[in-house]
Structure 1
Amino acid sequence: MASVVVSAGVGATLSIGTGVAVAAPADCGQVRQEVAIRSSVPLLDWSENIGVDDAGALWVSRLMRGEVQRYNANGQLTGTVAVASPGAVRLGPDGLLYVVTGNSWLSGDGGVVRFDPNAVRPEPVTFATGLSHPNGAAFDADGNLYVTAADGVHRFRRDGSEDMDWWAKVTVDGPNGIAVVGDSVYVTANYVAAGGPVGRVLRLSRVNPAVSATVADLTSFGALPDFLDDLVIRDGILYVTTLAGHLVRVDPVAATTCTVVSTHPLTAVIADPTNRSALLAGSEEGTVLRISPAG
């Protein structure tokens, strides 16, 4: 896996008085980048999302292929599980992998399936149904599963039942990626259908989802908006992927942002299970990158 070190001057980031971070065209600094998993057929290998099982194997959602692929630490393909239009892949508190399915407008109703990643031939079993174009997913500390869909953000209990009261209080248009830590539910939102702004990172409350706040308004080239996809939180810092190919670092406390790396369109990001200082980012081209941000 050849690597490249990218060094750029650190420019000032921009924030506004309301505590909302606004992405300026500034770089975070020196970044190490390498290919973790290569794409065999560009675009057909579209890597919509990435997950990790309890054994440390990587699972990549291949949206166009209709399957979730398992890879070892060397980036070698070791297995596949058929899932229609897969989205987020997340390890549940029960050791099973939960995969969003129906992540396409052509798929009809979507939902969530789960399977044992350690089985010889994993068989997906339905966990949730009736979701319109579901995409992102995240577990909280209590084992509740949050799923973004065309009609908002859903929360499922460990038994598969949905907390309808929680869903009814959420007022997020165009949710995409999602990450949960403590009481905070971070969501990327793109208000395309509502005719509003794209490229926002919002914070909801687990206890009171009716309360939301904008954490960051991200732009790619000055005033041009950028469609946001997935995000992950590590050591209190958010890392967000964008359609323009940026991995953006957002400090929700200091209300600052900077661009970690700019490459081809990025779809997903997770913490690298084998490298504490690195992140893994999926792409529309299909390649999964290992990125080590400065600091």
Structure 2
Amino acid sequence: MPNPRPSVGPRSRNHFRQRGFASSCALVLALTAVAAAAPAHAESASCAPATSATFSKANAPFLDWAENLGFDAQGNLWVSRLYRNEVQRYDSAGRVTATVPVTSPGAIRLGPDHQLYVVYGDNSLNLFPGTHDAGVVRFDPTAAAPVPEVFVSGLSMPNGAAFDAAGNLYVADTGSGVVRVRPDATIDADWTAQASRFGLNGIAVEGDSVYATVYLSPHGQIVRIPIDAPDQSATVANLSLSDDLAVGPDGLLYVATTAGSLVRIDPATHSTCTVLTAGPLSAVAVSPDGDLMVATGTGDVLRVDLAE
């Protein structure tokens, strides 16, 4: 989110950036230790391994942590650089062609109006009472110098986001659960109250269902939330350190884990299998040509070709 207090000088901004960086690092390390003690997911199906190639290299490993990925209507890839407080646009050759300032950015999603929607405030400091400077901004990705404007504010620690066919935006808020935002930017308080749950991270919509990852839990559940009955959520798989997820071209779920696996899940049968093993993975998105783009903990972005 653009700095609403221009009187804050560079020294103060760097101080808050360092605090956010340190607190987020501490949270990741603590959660990794907790999840490491939990049993890994059991493979219940076999699938052919995917192949991957590096699409873009990070300039500074970890500092360039890629928190999330998304595509605009022109097919350009956008990457959330959490600790740099910006989102970056890449061309097809993996070169940065634009940057837009957003504070602690998380999910990047193309809206029905062809604007890009980016959650901001994806920082563990926002889990503390009285520090909720978080929400969703949007901007025109085709503008010469995109300027983010606040779409919704007052959230806790928003991380994932996804639109449904009706244009409602679902935000995975780590501190409160799934927040349903109507196209007019008002929050559907009744629906949201029924989808309350702590520890969410990634989110995706497929048909009449919302799927979300519960990162802050020993088992890392993947839960299905019926859009018409948000109080009737059910676990479709347990997957430790499950971070982000996306619906693949085959209609199945693909989950990036910070344990280093890209896992395919069939929510109908609850079957899981690993299609790629790499370093810590933080995000996954489907490219216009059907490949998967996967972000790594170092900040590199991989293009993953799924086996037929």
Over residues 170-227 of structure 1, what are the superposed CA-to-partner deviations in whole Å (9 max), with x where a residue is unaligned? 14331110000111100111344xxxx3311100011110011110112xxxxxxx21
Question: Is contact 1:50–1:270 with CA below 8 Å preserved after alignment?
Answer: yes
Runs of at least 4 residues off by over 4 Å: none
In 2, the alpha carbon distance for the partners of 1:137 and 1:30 equals 28
- The partner residue of 1:230 within 244, 257, 268 is 244
CA contact (8 A) 2:279 2:296 kept: yes
CA distance in 1, matches of 2:42, 2:227: 26
> CA-to-partner distance for each residue in 1:238-281, whole Å, 9 max, x for gaps?
000111111001011232111011111111101122x32x2000
Within 5 Å, give how 1:11-160 maps onto structure 2. 23-24=42-43, 28-106=47-125, 108-109=131-132, 110-149=134-173, 150-160=175-185
Partner of 1:30, secondary structure, is coil
Q: Counterpart of 1:294?
A: 307
Residue 24 of structure 1 deviates from its aligned partner by: 2.3
User: Are the aligned partners of 2:44 and 2:272 in contact in 1 as well (CA < 8 Å)?
Assistant: no
TM-score of the two chains, using structure 1 as the length reference: 0.85
Aligned residue pairs total: 261
Distance 1:172 1:259 in 2: 27
Q: Equivalents in 2 of 1:177, 1:145: separation in Å?
A: 13
Deviations along 1:83-105, one digit per CA (max 9) or x if unpaired, are 00000000000110000000002
What is the alpha-carbon distance in structure 2 between the residues aligned to residue 46 and residue 171 of structure 1? 28
User: Quick one: which amino acid aligns to residue 115 of structure 2?
Assistant: L
- Structure (1/2) with the larger helix percentage: 2
Q: Does residue 205 of structure 2 align to residue 180 of structure 1?
A: yes
- Which of 221, 224, 229 is the equivalent residue of 1:200? 221
Shift of 1:40: 1.1
Match of 1:209 among 224, 227, 230: 230
In 1, the alpha carbon distance for the partners of 2:219 and 2:198 equals: 10
Secondary structure in 2 matching 1:64 = helix
Contact 1:173-1:190 at 8 Å conserved across structures: no
Query: Helix, strand or coil: the match of 2:109?
Result: strand
Does structure 2 conserve the Cα–Cα contact (< 8 Å) formed by 1:105 and 1:133?
yes
Deviations 1:142-163 (A, max 9, x none): 0000001111110000110000
SS in 2 for 1:198: coil
Q: Of Structure 1 and Structure 2, which has the larger fraction of its residues in strand?
A: 1
Q: Which segments of 5 or more consecutive residues in structure 2 lack a partner in the other structure?
A: 1-40
Q: 2:192 is paired with a residue of what secondary structure?
A: helix
Q: Hey, what's the Cα distance between the residues in 2 that align with 1:237 and 1:26? A: 13
Structure 2 residue 274 is matched with structure 1 residue 259: yes
Counterpart for residue 190 of structure 1: 215
Distance 1:214 1:106 in 2: 28
Taking the aligned partners of 1:294 and 1:198, their CA distance within structure 2 comes to 28
| 2: CA distance, partners of 1:188 / 1:229 | 6
Matched, 1:247 2:237: no
TM-score by length of 2: 0.82
Show the counterpart of 2:32: none
